[in-house]
């Protein structure tokens, strides 16, 4: 019996080509897609990461904001991009772990269509109000909402985002009625909140802190179980009468499925070193974010566990895409 060596030769040639591509990587500029509008907390972090990654790789890393559908549109672009390591995604908890339970159909699979690289950061949300709202603490806000049922509005970065889930969780725990006003990202939500077009917003902490410190917004509470190192003066919602209240956001980096392992490993090493640099950690903590990195395998397992966790929250809150 004769065995053809042609398939084996083809496979070997393919492996050699992949190895060569990984060795020359990157030969062209990279695109880092952020699936939300510019100005949000994750966007701010990715822009800093992109600058540092540009210096380390010797190729320009361009941040490309592609907002829509709670982060799903930008995420879908990366899912269908060439697996050459030149298109990366800011993986966010909403499109990667929440939207699968919110939308009836997604044009990507958060587990099968991506090659996880590493977590990058985690940060709590912060409940902020327009200064014209006559409430300086949570009890006052709740009392105001109960006197005006269905009149106060809350912004969100989109249906199914952690900004909406935090607000819906708060509504349920406080037994108040608020009207949801969804946006295509955190930046747009903050713009309208500062302009007084909406009443409140569970913003990402990094994006809201500068506005709080300049007295353009008022902070009432953070959604982590512990006070934020960047804003220790702001109480947690948990300690303000709602024990166990927690809703945090995470971001990471992923590439399209099929990206060569050598490229994923290279990017993991570069990004981990960037996030663990002392000046980067200091900058992130000052913005309200906590640098968090891990291996591609651990990040993949984390994404799966988050899908299960948020599915239960979405079901309990009855959230659906609008």
Range in 3-12, 283-292, 302-311 the model is least confident about = 3-12
pLDDT at 293: 97
pLDDT by residue (tens digit) across 120-171?
A: 998 889 999 999 999 999 999 999 999 999 999 999 988 778 899 899 889 9
**What is the domain partition of the chain in residue ranges?**
6-123+249-317, 124-240
Flag whether pLDDT at 13 surpasses 60: no
Mean pLDDT throughout 84-90?
98
Range in 9-18, 31-40, 70-79, 236-245 the model is least confident about = 9-18
Task: Return the CATH fold of 6-123+249-317.
Answer: D-Maltodextrin-Binding Protein; domain 2 (3.40.190)
Which region holds residue 196: left if phi is over 0, alpha if psi is between -120 and 50, else beta? Answer: left
Matching fold, domains 6-123+249-317 and 124-240? yes
Instruction: Decide which of 3.30.300.170, 3.30.420.40, 3.40.50.1220, 3.40.190.10 is the CATH code for 124-240.
Output: 3.40.190.10
Distance CA 89, CA 103 (A): 20
Flag whether pLDDT at 9 surpasses 80: no
H helices of the chain, where?
A: 6-24, 41-57, 72-79, 93, 99-102, 138-147, 162-174, 186-194, 205-213, 261-276, 278-287, 296-317
Distance CA 254, CA 113 (A): 10
Flag whether pLDDT at 17 surpasses 60: no
Flag whether pLDDT at 15 surpasses 70: no
Mean pLDDT throughout 181-192?
92
Query: Which is nearest to 111 in space by CA: 127, 95, 122?
Result: 95
pLDDT by residue (tens digit) across 246-294?
A: 888 899 999 999 999 999 999 999 999 999 999 999 988 887 888 999 9
Measured in residues, the chain has a length of 322
Flag whether pLDDT at 322 surpasses 90: no
pLDDT at 3: 47
Is the distance from CB of 194 to CB of 113 less than 8 angstroms? no
Mean pLDDT throughout 208-230?
94
pLDDT at 206: 84
Q: Is the pTM here over 0.75, yes or no?
A: yes
Q: Cis check for the bond before 26: say yes or no (omega within 30 of 0).
A: yes
Flag whether pLDDT at 11 surpasses 50: no
Flag whether pLDDT at 95 surpasses 80: yes
Mean pLDDT throughout 74-100?
96
Average pLDDT, rounded, for the chain:
90
pLDDT at 6: 54
Task: Please list the residues that pair with 88 across neighbouring strands.
Answer: 32
pLDDT at 314: 87
Flag whether pLDDT at 14 surpasses 70: no
Flag whether pLDDT at 63 surpasses 60: yes
Alpha-carbon torsion (122, 305, 38, 271), positive or negative: positive
């Amino acid at each position: 019996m004769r065995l053809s060596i042609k398939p084996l030769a083809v496979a070997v040639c393919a492996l050699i080509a992949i190895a060569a591509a990984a060795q020359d990587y990157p030969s062209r500029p990279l695109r880092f897609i952020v699936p939300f509008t510019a100005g949000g907390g994750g966007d701010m972090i990715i822009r800093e990461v992109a600058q540092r990654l540009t210096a380390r790789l010797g190729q320009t890393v361009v941040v490309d904001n592609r907002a829509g559908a709670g982060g799903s549109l930008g995420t879908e672009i990366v899912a269908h991009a060439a697996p050459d390591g030149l298109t990366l995604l800011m993986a966010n908890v909403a499109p990667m772990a929440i939207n699968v339970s919110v939308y009836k159909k997604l044009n990507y699979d958060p587990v099968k269509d991506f090659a996880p690289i590493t977590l990058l950061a985690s940060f709590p949300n912060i409940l902020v109000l327009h200064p014209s709202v006559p409430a300086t603490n949570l009890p006052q806000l709740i009392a105001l909402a109960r006197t005006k049922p269905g009149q106060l509005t809350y912004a969100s970065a989109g249906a199914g985002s952690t900004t909406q889930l935090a607000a819906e969780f708060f509504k349920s725990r406080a037994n108040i009625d608020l009207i949801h006003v969804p946006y295509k990202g955190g930046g747009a939500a903050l713009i309208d909140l500062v302009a007084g077009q909406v009443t409140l917003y569970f913003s990402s902490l990094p994006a809201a802190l500068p506005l709080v410190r300049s007295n353009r917004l008022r902070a009432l509470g953070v959604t982590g179980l512990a006070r934020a190192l960047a804003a220790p003066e702001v109480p947690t919602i948990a300690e303000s009468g709602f024990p166990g209240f927690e809703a945090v956001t995470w971001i990471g980096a992923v590439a399209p499925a099929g990206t060569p392992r050598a490229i994923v490993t290279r990017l993991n090493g570069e990004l981990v070193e960037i996030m663990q640099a002392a000046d980067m950690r200091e900058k992130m903590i000052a913005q309200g974010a906590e640098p968090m990195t891990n291996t591609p395998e651990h990040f993949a397992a984390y994404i799966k566990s988050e899908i299960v966790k948020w599915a239960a929250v979405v079901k309990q809150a009855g959230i659906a895409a609008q």
